Amino acid sequence: MKIKDFAAGILTGVAAGIIVNQAFQKMNPNTPAEDVLHAVKEAFKKEGPIDGSWIVMKPEPFTNNVLTMEVYRGGISRIKNGELEQYEFAANAQTGTVVELIQK
């Protein structure tokens, strides 16, 4: 096998992989839930350490009487001034933007 043929095969495989990846992203435009949770945790860490966090991996419908969208639900807990604080959030599944934050 010539090196030229081998390189052509590799380039064809890479191009096919890129095309398949782009098609998959168009079919599933949501931000990965792990990325959303990481962003929320980083925002909370700016005010102090967190003790725990969770997120539901499957988006669910959400409405605020004006907008309807798919959201990930999750939560954060931390100790602040010696007391446990717990928060639940809803984040837009496509953009990762937090659309609701409730302290429990």
Query: Tell me: the pLDDT tens digits for 19-45?
Result: 655 655 555 678 899 999 999 999 999
pLDDT-based confidence at residue 80 (cuts at 50, 70, 90): confident
Does residue 18 have a pLDDT over 90? no
Contact 56, 74 (CB under 8 A): yes
Which of 18 and 45 is assigned the larger pLDDT?
45
- Phi, psi torsion values for 31, nearest 5 degrees: -70, 135
